[in-house]
Amino acid sequence: MKTPRPLIIINFKAYSETTGAKASALVKSLEAVYLNYRVDVIAAVQTADIYRIAQVSKTPVFAQHMDLIGPGANTGFILPESVVDAGASGVLINHAEHQVPMDTIEKTVERAKKLKLTTVVCVADAAQAKAVAVFEPDYIAFEPPELIGGDISVSTAKPEVITECLKKIRLTTIKTELLVGAGVKTRKDLEISMRLGAKGVLVASGIVCAKNPAEVLMSWVAEING
């Protein structure tokens, strides 16, 4: 049986290698993998880079955050409509590095749905996954904060919590898919996550801080496609 088509969301965060002109170049190099292999790749980039990247890229672009403001006197906040206008097709919500209260998660998912943005809500554990599943985002990304940026992956350290997250989500909805992230560095991490029922991974340093990000991405998916 063919392995399901994986989804790999690459969080560019705000590394010096992943902003400005370097961000567009990086997306273009990753795009070659997206276009030639059986994999969905999405780049979650700095708000200031969305427009620049969307202009040159076929890879879908997501915002890393947006604020619950409407058009008007709101200096410095990220207007959801601007994110759409700039060319983003989705948004990360409640990333471990940019957490928001539960009622803000709910309203942001609602707002994003109205704007037809794909929603990825990040959670730290199965209890949070259960709470967020009620809002039926497109994806819930389980990312244990203590493993983010490290070398021990979520699929090695917490496989049972991945299963638990999926169970909790399925008790509430079949509309929301699970992603997993934190410390994802190898094809095996992707494979284990998918075997446990995840649709794919949310990854940052394993790809964007690699010497050759496109080569790493290709090595993960070439096997799956083989």
Task: Give the active site residues.
Answer: 95, 143
Interface residue list for ligand G3P (CB under 6 A)? 11, 95-96, 143, 148-149, 181-184, 202-206
CA distances from 44 to 10, 51, 70, 106, 174 (A): 6, 12, 22, 20, 25
The angle, 0 to 180 degrees and rounded to 10, between the axes of the packed helices 213-225 and 21-36 is: 20
Residue where the block lists tokens 């079949």? 174
Spatial contact of 45 and 15, defined as CB atoms under 8 Å apart: no
Residue 173 to residues 51, 137, 166, 199, Cα–Cα distance (Å): 34, 10, 10, 15
DSSP 98-148: S---HHHHHHHHHHHHHTT-EEEEEESSHHHHHHHHTT--SEEEE--GGGT
Least distance between ligand G3P and beta carbon 190 (Å): 12
Rg of the chain, C-alpha, whole Å: 16
Nearer of residues 72 and 194 to ligand G3P, judged by Cβ: 194
Chain position carrying tokens 């010096």? 16
The pair of structure tokens assigned to 105 is 């998660």
